Amino acid sequence: MDNEVDVFYQELPKVELHAHLNGSVSSQTIEKLISRKPHLNIEHGMTAIGKGQRRTLDECFQVFKVIHQLVDTEEDILMVAIDVIKEFAADGVKYLELRSTPREEKTTGLTKRSYIETVIKAIQQCRSEGVDIDVRFLVAIDRRNGPEVAMETVKLAEEFMLSSDGLVLGLDLSGDPTVGHGRDLLPALQRAKNCGLKLSLHLSEVPSQLEESELLLNLPPDRIGHGTFLHPEVGGSQSVVDKVVENKIPLELCLTSNVKGQTVPCYSKHHFKYWYQMGHPSVICTDDKGVFSTDLSQEYQLAASTFGLSREDVWKISQQAIDCIFAPDNVKQQLKQKWIDLQPQVFK
């Protein structure tokens, strides 16, 4: 983590809805992975972007490739997922939707199915240890792998949605936004929607994707990741914004990720301001807390200091995130009660 975070933001109960598993691996866990695989000659600087550093988005995607080399067995995935869940819990996150792209690894026997099973096992293990966090899983489609893999992923996700006792709730579309076109993935995404999987789609993370965003918004998705270039001030369009607003589609906003990945020039120019001022549901998230050296408390504090939010405003943002989760209404009610119970302690 780069900066000292005020205790208020740590004690604030939080909801994390946009966290890629392999992007969330902390430096402590990377250390353990490196010692398991010294022959790879991977050093710390290759897996995280530190304070004041920036990379192009393309360079960020190279970092994920390095981490994927370190995480290629069921044992690695189990350790990584348990560590990540416990770190979010220690940061005051009470509800977490983790997302990850199932990978197969011929050399280690890892299959896409065992990948998902292992993430579920990690969630169950944390639950049985009494870790104070409700964790769900979104199966991710990496857009670079094309329509066939996307369809295969949807079928797997569908199976696990039915057999995981509510742990697998939906699907994420992510990956390098400059590769491929969402048009080709529509049949898979449509099928996912029809079978009851919730959809969180990365939309307009880079400029010039308005046509794709318009097309995918017709599904419509249940949440939008980033949506950096949707609004007219940055080359988006009013009709796209209207569609998002009419359908009340929440945005998952990741300040540090966008600044360090240079899709946003600085914190004060982050599109959080545009959507928040409009009163549109906007959820503060980390994206990749390991790669971008941050955590959710820090992201809330950055939003508050950049946009002049009071503690009451910040409380409201974290509370309203509950309405954007993919878990059913009874879970929302339990979380709302938790927030009520914790409020006196946070504002003491």
Amino acid at 162: L
Which range touches ligand 6MZ (CB under 6 A), out of 15-23, 211-219, 275-283, 298-306? 15-23
Q: How far is the CB of 339 from ligand 6MZ (least distance, A)?
A: 28
CB-based burial label for 214 (10 Å; 0-12, 13-18, 19+): middle
Which range touches ligand 6MZ (CB under 6 A), out of 17-25, 157-165, 184-192, 240-248? 17-25
Give the Å distances, CA to CA, from 114 to 24, 65, 104, 160, 212: 20, 20, 9, 11, 32
> Is residue 181 within 8 Å of 208, Cβ to Cβ?
no
Residue 221 vs 261, nearer CB to ligand 6MZ: 261
Residue 197 vs 309, nearer CB to ligand 6MZ: 197
Q: Quick one: tokens of 105?
A: 């690894």
Q: How far is the CB of 154 from ligand 6MZ (least distance, A)?
A: 15
Q: How far is the CB of 92 from ligand 6MZ (least distance, A)?
A: 22
Nearest to 92 by CA among 302, 315, 308, 304: 315
Q: How far is the CB of 321 from ligand 6MZ (least distance, A)?
A: 19
> What single-letter DSSP state applies at residue 309?
-
Between 170 and 209, how does the x/- string for binding to ligand 6MZ read (CB under 6 A)? ----xx--------------------------x--x----
Of 84-113, binders to ligand 6MZ (CB under 6 A) are 100-101
Q: Is 21 in the site for ligand 6MZ (CB under 6 A)?
A: yes
Residue 62 vs 194, nearer CB to ligand 6MZ: 62
Q: How far is the CB of 60 from ligand 6MZ (least distance, A)?
A: 5
Longest dimension (CA), the chain: 54
Q: Is 138 in the site for ligand 6MZ (CB under 6 A)?
A: no
Q: How far is the CB of 334 from ligand 6MZ (least distance, A)?
A: 27
Q: Is 76 in the site for ligand 6MZ (CB under 6 A)?
A: no
Q: Is 299 in the site for ligand 6MZ (CB under 6 A)?
A: no
Q: What is the dihedral of CA 214, 220, 222, 225, to 10 degrees?
A: -10
Between 32 and 71, how does the x/- string for binding to ligand 6MZ read (CB under 6 A)? ----------------------------x---x-------
- Residues labelled catalytic: 205
H or E stretch covering 51: none
Size of the site for ligand 6MZ (CB under 6 A): 18
> Is residue 200 within 8 Å of 221, Cβ to Cβ?
yes
Give the Å distances, CA to CA, from 282 to 138, 261, 341: 19, 20, 23
- Phi/psi of residue 219, nearest 5 degrees: -55, -45
Q: How much of the chain is helix, strand and coil, in % rounded to 5?
A: 55, 15, 30
Of 235-264, binders to ligand 6MZ (CB under 6 A) are 257, 261
- Phi/psi of residue 181, nearest 5 degrees: -135, 135
Residue numbers of the site for ligand 6MZ (CB under 6 A)? 20-23, 60, 64, 100-101, 140, 142, 174-175, 202, 205, 257, 261, 287-288
